[in-house]
Amino acid sequence: MSDSIDLSVVIVTYKSKEYISRCIKSVREATQGLSAEIIVVDNASSDGVIDSMLAEFPEVIAIENEVNEGFARGVNKGAGVASGRYLAILNPDTQLYPDTLKNLLNFLERHPQNCIVGARMFNEKGKIVSSCRSLPHIGNIIKYPILALLRRKRLGKPRRYLLDLWDQNRTIDVIRYNGYITGGCILTELDFFKKMGMLDGQYFLFAEDADFGFRLKRAGFHAFLVSEASLVHLEGRSASQNPRSRLYSVDAYVRYIHKNFTFLHGATYKTLFLLLVFSWTIGRLLRMEWDEIPVLLQALRCFVPYWLGGPPKLREHVP
């Protein structure tokens, strides 16, 4: 690996032409004084994002997938060609502040043990969005029916299974609270990312960050939310370009259940999750939101055993 590159920034795009320019401009500014490379992996967008980006930023390393391989495989492909000591994974709908990456790198250099770090994230209105969440768990999924009530209460410290309800205003090791850093912004040593097996490519979209966090926890490593570092995240903009995102989400968490849960825990969680998805479907039917019904019906098939004809085939790439 070359000693000349401090940081490799990997961004996976899908129809991200609207905001990729602002993201890369912010990365350029945030890497002033660093030797850095920007790697953009495009998942077969049809909006001309790569041509537009290279016209404005010819120094960017572009990888164009012929088919949509999903987020996890896109990140892994970018990491595979990266040459930096450190690796930053960013969503294309993020915008960094000038000191974001330097604060994250400074934290890593002060904590040389194997770990990953993430920044606090805000939306364009300045409202905090989840930079870390609790790992999927029974105690986590049953909170959603009472989410509105919980948000009215001031949570003075991180709560087990409720990290995404916390104000996230101080640095913590989220592993200690059974949590993980979300995939909008992750920074770590490239060698450590590869040592951990990178992201699991069986996740097409969603839950790959939770799965990575679970592996960190199981291996006894750390994941820090660094309060000194922050960025703007236009949350969900990229995913919203794909009308099947709800289906991908359900598929991902069913995969997570099968991979990481014990049989009893998995059966209980899967039952609760099925009820949640079923309630989404009934709600759309009652409101006559017909466009979403086919996707939700496919999502319900994710709970059907393979030998009974489910789940639906989601992969848009060759396994």
Q: Are residues 169 and 209 in the same domain?
A: yes
> What's the confidence (pLDDT) of residue 282?
92
Percentage of the chain exceeding pLDDT 90: 59
For residues 14-34, average pLDDT: 95
> What's the confidence (pLDDT) of residue 148?
43
Of the three residues 187, 214, 236, the one that is the final residue of a domain is 236
> What's the confidence (pLDDT) of residue 2?
44
How many domains is the chain partitioned into structurally?
A: 2
Q: Are residues 212 and 275 in the same domain?
A: no
Prior bond of 243 cis (ω within 30°):
no
Q: Are residues 104 and 153 in the same domain?
A: yes
Residue 291: inside a domain: yes
For residues 294-316, average pLDDT: 75
Q: What CATH number corresponds to the domain at position 80?
A: 3.90.550.10
> What's the confidence (pLDDT) of residue 276?
84
Q: Are residues 220 and 295 in the same domain?
A: no
pLDDT band at 76 (very low <50, low <70, confident <90, very high): very high
pLDDT band at 314 (very low <50, low <70, confident <90, very high): low
Q: Are residues 225 and 248 in the same domain?
A: no
For residues 67-79, average pLDDT: 96
Q: Residue with structure tokens 């012929």?
A: 66
Task: Inform me whether the pLDDT recorded for 49 exceeds 70.
Answer: yes
**Is the CB of residue 190 less than 8 Å from the CB of residue 87?**
yes
Q: Are residues 190 and 83 in the same domain?
A: yes
Query: Whole-angstrom Cα distance, residue 216 to residue 155?
Result: 26
pLDDT band at 292 (very low <50, low <70, confident <90, very high): confident
> What's the confidence (pLDDT) of residue 245?
81
Query: Whole-angstrom Cα distance, residue 163 to residue 169?
Result: 12
Q: Residue with structure tokens 């396994």?
A: 319
Residue 32: inside a domain: yes
Task: Inform me whether the pLDDT recorded for 165 exceeds 60.
Answer: no
Q: Are residues 103 and 231 in the same domain?
A: yes
> What's the confidence (pLDDT) of residue 246?
84
> What's the confidence (pLDDT) of residue 39?
98
SS (H, E, C) the chain: CCCCCCEEEEEEECCCCCCHHHHHHHHHHHCCCCCEEEEEEEECCCCCHHHHHHHHCCCCEEEEECCCCCHHHHHHHHHHHCCCCEEEEECCCEEECCCHHHHHHHHHHHCCCCEEEEEEEECCCCCEECCEEECCCHHHHCCHHHHHHHHCCCCCCCCCCCHHHCCCCCCEEHHHHCEEECCCEEEEEHHHHHHCCCCCCCCCCCCHHHHHHHHHHHHCCEEEEEEEEEEEECCCCCHHHCCCHHHHHHHHHHHHHHHHCCHHHHHHHHHHHHHHHHHHHHHHHHCCCHHHHHHHHHHHHCCCCHHHCCCCCCCCCCC
Residue 318: inside a domain: no
> What's the confidence (pLDDT) of residue 318?
36
Of the two residues 25 and 147, the one the predictor is more confident about is 25
Task: Inform me whether the pLDDT recorded for 47 exceeds 80.
Answer: yes
Residue 161: inside a domain: yes
Task: Inform me whether the pLDDT recorded for 96 exceeds 70.
Answer: yes
pLDDT digits (tens, 9 = 90+) for 203-257: 998 999 999 999 999 999 999 999 999 999 986 655 555 567 888 899 999 999 9
Task: Inform me whether the pLDDT recorded for 200 exceeds 80.
Answer: yes
Residue 94: inside a domain: yes
Residue 281: inside a domain: yes
Residue 315: inside a domain: no
Of the three residues 214, 236, 258, the one that is the final residue of a domain is 236
Residue 1: inside a domain: no
Q: Are residues 261 and 214 in the same domain?
A: no
Q: Are residues 117 and 252 in the same domain?
A: no
> What's the confidence (pLDDT) of residue 113?
79
214 lies in which domain range? Answer: 7-236
Lowest mean pLDDT among 12-26, 74-88, 132-146: 132-146
Of the two residues 245 and 299, the one the predictor is more confident about is 299
Q: Are residues 169 and 201 in the same domain?
A: yes
Q: What pTM was estimated for this model as a whole?
A: 0.88
**Is the CB of residue 251 less than 8 Å from the CB of residue 298?**
no
> What's the confidence (pLDDT) of residue 156?
46
Q: Are residues 253 and 222 in the same domain?
A: no
For residues 84-106, average pLDDT: 97
Q: Are residues 87 and 116 in the same domain?
A: yes
> What's the confidence (pLDDT) of residue 158?
44
Lowest mean pLDDT among 99-108, 251-260, 310-319: 310-319
Mean pLDDT (the chain) is 86
Of the three residues 188, 218, 236, the one that is the final residue of a domain is 236
